[in-house]
Amino acid sequence: MPNRTTMQALAPETASLVQSIADQFAIEGEYLMGEEVQSGHINSTYLATYELKDGERRRYILQRINEKVFKDPLAVMRNVECVTSHINWKVLRKKRDLGGQTLSLYPHKTGRFYGYGQGGGIWRCYNYFEGCQTYDVVETTRQAYEAGHAFGAFQDLVSDLPPGEIVETIPDFHHTRKRFEGLMQAVEEDCHGRVAGVQSELDFIGSNEDVVDRLLDLVEKELLPLRITHNDTKINNVLFDQETDEAVCVIDLDTVMPGLSLYDFGDLVRTATNPAAEDERDLTKVNFRIRIFESLVEGYLASAGPVLTDEEVSQMAFSGRLISLELGMRFLTDHLNGDKYFRVTREGQNLDRARTQLSLARQIAESEEKMKAYVLQVAKAR
């Protein structure tokens, strides 16, 4: 089912703060009201409504960046400004429509694209896309195609933006060898006495150690190009038009960093092909849906195909397996370390998350040759 953005009325003190923030940005019209957006788990997000002289109303997104998650919020803002400005420039030049749009930052009265709140914190103002919805689970091949096309369009639009123009805000985010080494260290220390209960998971990861370095080795050999990547390619980061169900825009750009296109596509495969919950205890519900994968490939190559190298295309089928394995290692590491990184609401939740990802990685590995053949078939037909 689609997600509709839910709003909550503001307490008087918060309402005053939101208005004071909104009025710092270059927004046309008179401020009418503010509401809190009840979605997302990181930044504080509000919706500000303004009325123009002719009575038309427009809404804008106001966000305070979470400094606990993003240690250098100014670097995050520089990255977002760089990417959104570049994409908007490309869209205007090429007159692209659905799937090629992006968020737009409104300037602050200082000329910057951010401001400071009365109680501290860095704030920004985005445009609001009316008539859109998101999905948490891919339910149809059409949705998969549209999501793949949207993230492919993002990659296409930033393909000529040098990676050196933006900052790596989370170092070694997808360094799979370091993730493996972190797990091995957690096993050696076994500070919570949990290693004995995860031997089958460790055996599976050990049997897959040979693939941990595959993309890293290709980078070392300069066979894979460094690109600007999104790094959070879940389907709920794509806005869909409520009437046509076409992908309109990729959102949540706080994690844009230099990286590999395969990390983005792999994470899209990981999150879109499996309908089970991330912490599903019944592993029979973990199901790699190859038709969803095929639709992701079709959509992604339709928009990003012209800018991808042959090696990038060749590794697309493998990428979902690698990212699923990586997340499995990260969840298992946190379980062994006492659940210090990923928030848990019950005992064993990180272990369940790890098992879900490792089960998906196993299923993808079993279908990898068939998947690769399909990718090459679609690429050749273009």
Neighbours of 63 (CB within 10 A): 21
Residue type, 293: F
Give the whole-angstrom CA distance, residue 92 versus residue 361: 40
Question: Could you tell me the fold of the domain covering 134-381?
Answer: Aminoglycoside 3'-phosphotransferase; Chain: A, domain 2 (3.90.1200)
Q: What is the pLDDT of residue 99?
A: 45
If you write DSSP's letter for every residue of 207-234 in order, what string do you get?
A: HTHHHHTHHHHHHHTT-S--EEE-S---
User: 10 and 35 in contact (C-beta within 8 Å)?
Assistant: yes
Give first-to-last CA distance, the chain, whole Å. Answer: 33
Give the whole-angstrom CA distance, residue 194 versus residue 187: 9
User: 361 and 342 in contact (C-beta within 8 Å)?
Assistant: no
Strand order in the sheet with 57-64: 7-9, 30-37, 44-51, 57-64, 122-127, 115-116
User: 31 and 23 in contact (C-beta within 8 Å)?
Assistant: yes
Neighbours of 352 (CB within 10 A): 21
Q: In order along the chain (382 residues), what is the average pLDDT of each group of 10 residues? A: 59 81 91 78 82 92 85 92 89 55 86 86 91 91 96 94 91 94 97 96 97 97 96 93 92 92 97 95 97 98 96 98 98 96 91 98 98 97 84
Token pair in block for residue 180? 């493996």
User: 229 and 263 in contact (C-beta within 8 Å)?
Assistant: yes
Give the whole-angstrom CA distance, residue 134 versus residue 111: 32
Q: What is the pLDDT of residue 193?
A: 96
For helices 316-336 and 290-304, the axis angle rounded to 10 degrees is 120
Q: What is the dihedral of CA 300, 174, 292, 141, to 10 degrees?
A: -50
Token pair in block for residue 90? 């490309």
Q: What is the pLDDT of residue 382?
A: 78
Give the whole-angstrom CA distance, residue 215 versus residue 262: 9
What are the residue ranges of helices labelled H in 287-348?
Answer: 290-304, 310-314, 316-336
**Cα–Cα–Cα angle for 75, 266, 382, rounded to 5 degrees:** 110
* Domain-wise residue ranges, the chain: 2-67+104-128, 134-381
User: 336 and 195 in contact (C-beta within 8 Å)?
Assistant: yes
What's this model's pTM, rounded to 2 decimal places? 0.88
